[in-house]
A and B are shown apart, each in its own frame.
Chain A
């Protein structure tokens, strides 16, 4: 069966510091990968998605970036965090295009607080 991991689970960072959140998927190959952010009391907003190694699509222009160095690894980064980057970050995966990408499965999330 497939599992998805995210770390760290909780992170407190000062404004202006860098960020690196990691997501890995096990038990599948060639998945589509997604980063979402959930602000307090709101739904999820798609930030980035990737259909393959090195292929990143951005949905919301901001000071965050994403990379996919390996097939089942997805990284969310920032060079300088802003207060507005605080939130709950969720990684998700779905089957690749050849198998149908309709259903997304989510990781446990990372709670980021920027002070």
Chain B
């Protein structure tokens, strides 16, 4: 079975600085997708970024970028120029051949002004 691990339950960053959130996963599948979702206090899950495993190029969405290391099964999220609105729970998720998204336990990010 696939698993997703987020080893850091909490992190904090100063406004305007850069922070990296780590995620590792375990799978025997060769084709899959990886995601980062953000869950603000409203609790709606918002898609931040998506990575296709067959693409070597790391995905980027404005201030958000990933470092995808397929051999190491690592998928970290870098947030540049952190803003107060970035404060939230962040979940790493995996989707392989089944319909199920497998989520990590999440990490709480605090942004200090």
Q: What is the interface of chain A, defined by CB distance below 8 A to chain B?
A: 32, 34, 36, 38, 42-44, 46, 49, 51, 57, 59, 88, 90, 92, 101-109, 111
Contacts and interface: CB of A to CB of B under 8 A. Distances in A.
Contacts of A51: 99
B101 A104 contact: yes
Given A102-B50, A103-B33, A103-B35, A44 B44 contact: no
B42 interface: yes
Contacts of A44: 45, 91, 101, 103
Q: Which size bracket describes the interface of B in this complex?
A: 20 to 34
Given A106-B46, A108-B42, A109-B44, A32 B103 contact: no
Interface of B: 33, 35, 37, 42-47, 50, 52, 91, 95, 99-101, 103-106
A42 B35 CA distance: 17
Contacts of B106: 42-43
B101 A46 contact: yes
B99 A43 contact: no
A107 B100 CA distance: 17
B33 A102 contact: yes
Contact of A103 (B43, B50, B91, B99): B50
Given A42-B105, A102-B50, A108-B44, 5 more contacts: A32-B99, A103-B35, A106-B37, A106-B44, A106-B46
